[in-house]
Copies of this chain bind each other. A is one copy, B any other.
Amino acid sequence: MALAHAIMTALIEDDLSGYELAKDFEASLGFFWNASHQQIYQELRKLAEKKWLNKREVSQSGKPNKIVYGLTRAGQDALAEWVYGTTKTQAAKDELLIKLYNLSGDNAAHLTSEISGRREQMMRLLYLYEKIRLRHYDDPQTLPTRRKGVYLALASGIAQGEQFLAWCDEAMELLATIEA
């Protein structure tokens, strides 16, 4: 049920359309919970049926009309209740690490380049994170309560990302010693 609650979380401050939510998931909440637009639209329909969200169509000029969703009182309650439940431990799933179990002279160069690609990707992500942090979360102590939570999520992403860069460096160094 976490996707449903992630969507509702995204709707706490603003009402959004499915399209806007999908953008948001790419740029913010999605750092911590991926979802494709197909999943989002389907979940929105279910949530509206359950009366946790309300929907209204908004006419736009210059673009197709959109359907904007907002949290209902029932939705707010369900979300607040969900936060109190116990959280499943994160499911560890990383193909790259499994591939490393298969390390050999033959594939060492390939794995090095995969790691290097991931490293670059992470650099770009960290750049984005840092930009957001500097702009909106520079002084966590003074943030309003809810924003402190968002800050902590961001801080988690940043710390994990930086740790990942360091690991990539160690990995590439060790892989460089392997002969084909």
- Where the two chains meet, the residues of A that have a C-beta atom closer than 8 Å to any C-beta of B are 2, 5-6, 9, 12, 29-34, 79-80, 82-84, 86-108, 110-111, 114, 118, 121, 140-141, 145-146, 148-153, 155-157, 159-160, 163-164, 166-167, 170-171, 174-175, 177-178
User: Chain B residues near A90 (CB, 8 Å)?
Assistant: 93-96
The smallest C-beta distance from A152 to any residue of chain B, in angstroms, reads 5
* Complex contact B101–A153 (CB within 8 A): yes
* Complex contact B102–A32 (CB within 8 A): no
CA distance A118 to B90 in the complex (A): 10
The smallest C-beta distance from A99 to any residue of chain B, in angstroms, reads 5
* Complex contact B12–A153 (CB within 8 A): no
Closest 7 CB pairs of A and B: A103-B149, A100-B149, A32-B97, A97-B153, A163-B163, A87-B95, A9-B101
Which of B80, B83, B84, B103 interacts with A145 by CB under 8 Å?
Answer: B103
CA distance A15 to B78 in the complex (A): 48
How many copies of this protein are present in the complex?
2
CA distance A82 to B106 in the complex (A): 13
* Complex contact B170–A155 (CB within 8 A): yes
Given contacts A87-B114, A107-B80, A145-B105, contact A31 B92 (CB under 8 A): yes
Residue of B nearest to A107 (CB): B83
* Complex contact A174–B152 (CB within 8 A): yes
CA distance A159 to B148 in the complex (A): 25
A80, A89, A104 — most chain B CB neighbours (10 Å): A89
* Complex contact A83–B105 (CB within 8 A): no
- 20 A-B pairs besides A29-B98, A80-B102, A151-B174 with CB distance below 8 A are A2-B95, A9-B102, A33-B92, A33-B97, A34-B91, A34-B93, A83-B102, A83-B110, A87-B96, A87-B99, A88-B95, A90-B93, A90-B96, A97-B152, A97-B153, A100-B152, A102-B146, A102-B149, A103-B149, A159-B167
